[in-house]
Amino acid sequence: MIDIKLIRENPELVKENIKKKFQEEKLVLVDKVRKLDDTWRKLKYEEDKLRSERNKISEEVNKSKKTKDEKKVKELIKKAKAIPEKIEKSQEKRKKLEEEIKQVMYKIPNIIHKSVPIGKDDSENVEKEKRGVPKVPDYKILNSAELAERLDGADFESARETSGKGFYFITGSLAMLHSAILAFARDYMVKKGFDYVLPPFMIRKKVVEGVMSFEEMTVMMYKIEGEDLYLIGTSEHSMIGRFVGKTINKNSLPITLTSYSPCFRKEVGSHGLEEKGFYRVHQFEKQEMIVICEPEDSYKWYDKMLRYTVDVFRALDIPVRVLECCSGDLADLKAKSCDVEAWSPRQKKYFEVGSLTNMEEAQARRLNIKITGKGKNYFAHTLNNTVLASPRALIALMENNQQKDGSIKIPKALWPYMNGVKKINVKKK
């Protein structure tokens, strides 16, 4: 959420930002907020006048008492008694207006960073870098679902019976590998100085509204029936929500946390929800990182966090590339974002395995997360980044480390997590 002062003082800048995001239908929201805000400020002005009038009457009452003008005292007291009711009615109107303004402000996109490329959708994202050499072997790379079954490492049919489309059982050595890559990602981040946290996997609506846009909320979140609770789509939601309403001493910054969680997503309106596979599913697991920091440090952390994810994938022998998200591909709270994509030798292209975002002060403003220091309180900047999410990372590892006989070579970085297993072999029938 942007600062309403920006709409008051520079509405054209806000409108230009909306145009850059190709959301022209939201231009009317800026004028709507200005109109509501004008009414709000008029009410506030009238309330202040009423309070001033009340103070003057109080002074006149004291003077009249001294002169023993009882008639005037009664008239003044009667007049004074009517003022609190007027103030209360005005405050009620202002409170309703504040809620209406907030709901409209939630729909106005955050101001994008000046470095963000302008484009309509993800087809216009810009490649920034590649790490590792993408290879296509001279033998067939099997689909991850087919290979998982050959390795006796997955049961999709039973998952359809227990849970429906978009779920899976991962078993045996493949399940060990799935856990190993998450454990490796966790330990990597801890070595980088991040504190490890296990967060709640459900959050209240006020937190959901604070950490994401309404569009994302509708598409992603599972609501718990009869409860003010939602299943998290990523641990960033509860991790940032942990600081709701808090004022952090600047000497405690930066706050750097890494967390593990299962993630739950409806994937409404998405294509390719898999009957048999790992790629687009309702449930997965992720190692996440978040940073809460001083505004002037947030883009330094943005660069660091990107390096961490890229280095984790390279340690697993997976080639990756980084795509800078264009303006039209940024969700409303995002000021700047990029996707990390892993190489698929089977598809001969890259596919998304994680994303990094700087929200600047958008989340902090919604959740009232402030820093105290420099003689004032001001909003923090928040960032989040996928260290590694599986099973997408598992797909990338299986494809890039698949051998001619269908076995999976375990990257050296994962040996300590695999109980001595260095290769997963195809099960003989």
CATH at 419: 3.30.930.10
- Rounded CA-CA distance 405/338 in Å is 36
Within 8 A by CB and 6+ apart from 38, the residues are none
Structure pTM?
0.89
Residue 117 within any structural domain of the chain: no
Residue 116 within any structural domain of the chain: no
Identify the domain boundary among 105, 140, 166.
105
**Mean pLDDT across the chain:** 92
- Ranking 77-81, 168-172, 340-344, 366-370 by mean pLDDT, the lowest is 77-81
Identify the domain boundary among 80, 105, 130.
105
Q: Which two tokens stand for residue 330?
A: 């940024």
**Same domain for 401 and 280?**
yes
- Rounded CA-CA distance 132/314 in Å is 7
Q: How many domains are contained in the chain?
A: 2
**Same domain for 146 and 77?**
no
Supply the range of the domain harboring residue 52: 4-105
- Rounded CA-CA distance 84/233 in Å is 47
Q: What is the pLDDT of residues 14-40, one digit of tens each?
A: 999 999 999 999 999 999 999 999 999
Q: Which CA distances in Å does 85 have to 91, 252, 328?
A: 10, 45, 49
Beta-carbon-side half-sphere exposure of residue 206 (alpha carbons within 13 Å): 9
For residue 387, give the H/E element and its range: strand 381-390
Residue 112 within any structural domain of the chain: no
Per-residue pLDDT averaged across 91-111, rounded? 94
**Same domain for 156 and 27?**
no
Q: Is residue 319 within 8 Å of 130, Cβ to Cβ?
A: yes
Residue 318 within any structural domain of the chain: yes
Partners of residue 264 on adjacent β-strands: 283
| pLDDT number for residue 256 | 98
Residue 335 within any structural domain of the chain: yes
Question: 3-state class of 3 per DSSP?
Answer: coil
Q: Is residue 128 within 8 Å of 150, Cβ to Cβ?
A: no
Q: Is residue 157 within 8 Å of 148, Cβ to Cβ?
A: no
Written in H, E and C, the secondary structure of 345-358 is CCCCEEEEEEEEEE
Identify the domain boundary among 42, 75, 105.
105
Comparing 73 with 17, the larger pLDDT belongs to 17
